[in-house]
Each structure stands twice: as C-alpha cells, then as structure tokens.
C-alpha cells in the first residue's frame, strides 16, 4: 500500500492547502455534484437529495458550515478538485470532483490530514465513511468498526464507522504549495 508522501503519485500540479472562506461556494458545488454523480451508485435519489439538498436555503447552510470548518483543499490550476473538512476526531467531509475520481487526489488529502493529526498528538483518525468511500478508506488502512445509520433531513443513510491508529511518531512530511508528486 502506498502510504507515504515520498512515493510517486498520479497527482500532478495539484496544490494542497487550507481553503479560504470564499472557496466555500465552490466546495458546496463540488460536494453537490459529486454526491449526485458518484454516490448515486450506492444511494437512492431520496437519499442523495437528503444528503446534498437542491433547495437553496439548505445549500446556503452547507456553505456557511464549510466557511467555519478547518479544511484541506486540493486545487489544480487554481480550480478546486477536492476537499476535506476536519472534525475533532478526524474526517468530516471528503469529496473529489466527479471528473477527477481515481487519480490519487483523496489519498493526498487524507495523508495531509493524518500528518496534521500526528503533529497534534492524535492517536486515531475516525471517519463515518459512505458506502461509496468504504473501499477507499480500506485501501488507506482504515478498519471497519461498525455499520451505522445517519439521519439527514429525515432520511436514513447507511454509512461505515472506520478508524485508523496512527503509528506513534508517524508525523509525515508537510505538503507545501504545488506539491505535485
Ligand atoms: C471516496 C473518494 C473521496 C475517493 O477519492 P479518489 O480521489 O477517487 O481516490 P484515490 O484516487 O486517491 O484512491 C486511492 C486508492 O483507493 C482506491 N479506491 C478509491 N475508490 C475506490 C473504490 N470505490 N473501490 C476500490 N478502490 C478504490 C484507489 O484505487 C486507490 O488505490 P491504488 O493506489 O491502489 O490505485 C471519491 O470516490 C469520492 O469523492 N466519493 C464520493 C464522495 C464520498 O463518498 N465521500 C466520502 C464521504 S466520507
């Protein structure tokens, strides 16, 4: 399994850095499109609509939440191609652009989060992974702790509680600016 930043990746000319408050609208759009395109293979339309609502007021609420959260953005030529938001125990949201799936972007974002967690002395990273994202997190060394059911806008969405123990002293090399490989 590739799990250090020193290895060669397919990601080229992609920068990884915190996103600014005015990236929140782009992030919400990416989130919305990715859920409705990529997660559609595992969830029904009512579930997708509950997860990434089309209604404007609800979309604004997500934008406001994104503005407040600690985050890592992946940008290519200045365009947002993926992002992750952090919560106390680990990953909150992790979404890659629907047209940039399978190109190593989420791997890089997650490694950056793990580096930050290790620097802060965190022992475990926890994520409520979607059914769609479960194989990705499995590849990244996360174990399935249990299946879970979340309720969004009154609709039940199955997800997977997954976690990974960070090796003691596993602080990783910091990704800087345009860290292409
Ligand atoms: C899950 C997600 C973030 C993965 O992003 P990605 O950039 O496509 O993933 P990567 O290209 O970095 O994949 C890293 C590794 O995981 C593997 N992987 C990723 N998705 C996979 C899948 N569905 N099935 C099997 N393997 C998968 C890749 O093959 C790669 O392994 P490799 O290095 O051996 O080739 C992306 O599919 C996504 O946005 N999904 C929809 C949103 C979602 O469900 N988010 C999670 C909410 S918690």
CATH number of the structural domain spanning residue 39: 3.40.630.30
User: Are residues 82 and 17 in contact, defined by beta-carbon separation less than 8 angstroms?
Assistant: no
103 CA closest ligand 1 atom index: 11
Q: 38 CB less than 6 Å from ligand 1?
A: yes
Looking at 5-14, 101-110, 112-121, 130-139, which range is the least confident one? 5-14
Question: Is there an atom of ligand 1 within 6 Å of 15 CB?
Answer: no
133: in domain: no
Specify if 9 maps to a domain. Answer: no
Q: What is the mean pLDDT of residues 129-153?
A: 97
Is any atom of ligand 1 closer than 6 Å to the C-beta of 95?
yes
27-78 confidence digits (pLDDT tens):
999 999 999 999 999 999 999 999 999 999 999 999 999 999 999 999 998 8
- Calculated CA dihedral for residues 14, 15, 18, 21, nearest 10 degrees: -70
**CA quadruple 56, 57, 58, 64: dihedral sign:** positive
Written as six digits, the tokens of 68 are: 């407040």
Total tally of structural domains belonging to the chain: 1
Residue 35: name the closest of 25, 45, 26 by CA.
Answer: 45
Tell me if 4 is assigned to some domain. Answer: no
What's the confidence (pLDDT) of residue 181? 27
Q: pTM here?
A: 0.89
Angle at which helices 56-68 and 24-37 cross, to 10°: 120
Q: Give residue 141 CA to ligand 1 midpoint distance, Å.
A: 13
Q: What's the average model confidence in pLDDT over 124-142?
A: 97
Give the atom of ligand 1 at the shortest distance from the alpha carbon of 10: 11
Q: What is the pLDDT of residue 22?
A: 84
Element (H, E) at 17: strand 14-17
Q: For ligand 1, what atom is nearest to the CA of residue 92? A: 48
CB of residue 47 inside a 6 A radius of ligand 1: no
Segments forming the whole domain that contains residue 93: 14-121
Whether 113 is covered by a domain: the verdict is yes
């Amino acid at each position: 399994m590739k799990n250090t930043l020193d290895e060669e990746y397919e990601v080229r000319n992609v920068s990884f850095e915190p996103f600014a408050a005015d990236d929140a609208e782009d992030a919400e759009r990416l989130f919305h499109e990715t859920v409705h395109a990529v997660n559609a293979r595992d969830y029904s339309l009512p579930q997708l609509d509950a997860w990434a609502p089309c209604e404007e007021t609800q979309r604004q609420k997500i934008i406001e939440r994104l503005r407040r959260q600690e985050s890592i953005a992946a940008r290519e030529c200045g365009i947002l191609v993926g992002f992750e938001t952090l919560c106390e125990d680990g990953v909150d949201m992790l979404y890659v652009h629907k047209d940039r799936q399978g190109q190593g972007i989420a791997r890089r974002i997650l490694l950056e989060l793990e580096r930050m967690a290790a620097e802060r002395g965190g022992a475990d990273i926890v994520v409520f992974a979607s059914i769609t994202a479960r194989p990705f997190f499995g590849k990244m060394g996360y174990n399935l702790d249990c299946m879970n059911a979340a309720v969004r806008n009154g609709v039940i969405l199955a997800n997977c509680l997954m976690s990974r123990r960070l090796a003691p002293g596993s602080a990783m090399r910091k990704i800087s600016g345009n860290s292409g490989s």
